[in-house]
A and B are shown apart, each in its own frame.
Chain A
Amino acid sequence: MSRWKDLTNGFYTENPIFRITLGMCPFLALSTSVQNAVGMGSAATFVLIWSNVAISALRNFIPDKIRIPCYIVFIATFVSLVDMVMAAFMPPLHKALGIYIPLIVVNCIILGRAEAFANKNTVMSSFLDGIGMGVGFTLAMLLMASIREILGNGTWYGINILGHAYTSQPVLLAILPPGAFILMGFVLGVFAIIDRRKERAA
């Protein structure tokens, strides 16, 4: 049962974006369209899983005093891998994600999970935790990107769903930078209301 908990922890109860508010930079910057969200989500998930696995496999060999620089080197290696693979096989996506791919290195979610989970747990648990957190991050990005793309462009994954009358004059603010901040505020507010309802019911 605890394996199952390792996996699902990141989906909702400890969702990195909505619960711990880590990794905001790529989340806010790339939730302009669902394509970008899927690309960023899968890149971050890949790095999360493999850095978690590598760090937990070597947790007994890394000297405690220099563990943070070691983690950063691991993470940077996996990020460079993702960067090169994307540049080779998915050039349009690589261009759309741009500077935010190298910046996965300083994404607090990944270093946070390495420090809070992977260096204390087994390889299997860390692997599942990496998947869970990655999926949680991707789900959060999908939710935000769906709201912003539908409001700001009238489309979802590039498919026109609100009709021409809307797409000719959408709420442009939603896909501009201010829209990310304001909508994030309201989404967090909705989560706070849900939490309060649950507490009252319990």
Chain B
Amino acid sequence: MSPALLLSAAVSSTGAGDGGFAQIMGLVIGGILINNYVLSRFLGICPFLGVSKQLDSAIGMGAAVVFVMAMTGAACWALWELVLIPMHLEYLSTIVFILIIAALVQLVEMILLKYSPALYKALGIYLPLITTNCAVLGVAVLNKDAGYNLAMSVINAVSGALGFGLALILMAGLRMRMEYSDIPLALRGKPITFILAGLMSIAFLGFAGLGV
């Protein structure tokens, strides 16, 4: 495909609005607050519960997910529009997306190891775990179903990842405080964490009133 065609495909939207300012703001506010990936769409619950014990690791995980999801949004868009649709291989989308995500995570890991060992060390085990974060595959499928163009796909992915990071960091702060509180014996550990997430989710439900 020639560069000019590629460019026009990247900026033209395929049936999902005009991509104007209002729609972009809607995606950003919607992704971070109204349809928060963790608290209202239930994507990425496992890392949300697993990595929210310490504030430092929550921030590292959030940053890594933003990075990987932005790249996933772009790579999966390109694959879907430029390879799978022209070759009529739409039914392979799930398999191809998950392989691309696994490869991307591996790539990010290698690049970080080479150029920024400090950040690589800080992220540690969380990097390979991003492959099985359902928010990442989720955003690829959501973008495909909505038919966003390249720019909208990346914006949607980044705002979703920021929402994930926000929920993760808020949760880590709450859980660090909870260490000092007196919790009923039966609810210690996982149960109280779920209830806490539920209360946060009620708070986020309030953003639905923004109605973007």
Residues of A that sit less than 8 Å from B by CB: 21-22, 24-26, 28-29, 69, 72-73, 76-77, 79-80, 83-84, 99, 102-103, 105-108, 111, 173, 176-186, 188-190, 192-193, 196
Q: Which of B40, B43, B134, B138 has the most CB of A within 10 A?
A: B134
Q: How many A-B residue pairs have CB under 8 A?
A: 119
In angstroms, Cα B201 to Cα A163, docked, is 29
Residues of B that sit less than 8 Å from A by CB: 39-46, 49, 91-95, 97-99, 102, 131-134, 137-138, 141-142, 145, 184-199, 201-202, 205
Taking CB as reference atom, which chain A residue is nearest B137? A106
- Docked-complex contact B134 and A106, CB < 8 angstroms: yes
- Docked-complex contact B186 and A196, CB < 8 angstroms: yes
Q: Which of B46, B192, B198 has the most CB of A within 10 A?
A: B198
Taking CB as reference atom, which chain B residue is nearest A84? B91
A sample of 11 cross-chain residue pairs with beta-carbon separation below 8 angstroms, ordered by A number, consists of A21-B190, A24-B49, A25-B45, A73-B99, A76-B99, A80-B91, A177-B201, A181-B194, A182-B199, A184-B194, A189-B186
Chain A residues near B97 (CB-CB < 8 A): 102
In angstroms, Cα B141 to Cα A61, docked, is 32
CB-CB under 8 A for A102 and B141, given A77-B95, A181-B197, A186-B195 = yes
- Docked-complex contact B186 and A99, CB < 8 angstroms: no
- Among candidates A25, A83, A102, A193, residue contacting B42 with C-beta atoms closer than 8 Å: A25
- Docked-complex contact B49 and A21, CB < 8 angstroms: yes
- Docked-complex contact B205 and A177, CB < 8 angstroms: yes
Chain A residues near B94 (CB-CB < 8 A): 76, 79-80, 83, 102, 105
- Docked-complex contact B187 and A189, CB < 8 angstroms: yes
B95 to chain A, nearest CB (A): 4
Chain A residues near B131 (CB-CB < 8 A): 106
In angstroms, Cα B193 to Cα A77, docked, is 34
- Docked-complex contact B133 and A185, CB < 8 angstroms: no
Chain B residues near A69 (CB-CB < 8 A): 99, 102
- Docked-complex contact A28 and B49, CB < 8 angstroms: no
Chain B residues near A184 (CB-CB < 8 A): 194, 198
Chain A residues near B41 (CB-CB < 8 A): 29
B108 to chain A, nearest CB (A): 16
Taking CB as reference atom, which chain B residue is nearest A28? B42
- Docked-complex contact B92 and A80, CB < 8 angstroms: yes
A184 to chain B, nearest CB (A): 5
- Docked-complex contact A72 and B190, CB < 8 angstroms: no
- Docked-complex contact B195 and A24, CB < 8 angstroms: no
Taking CB as reference atom, which chain A residue is nearest B184? A189
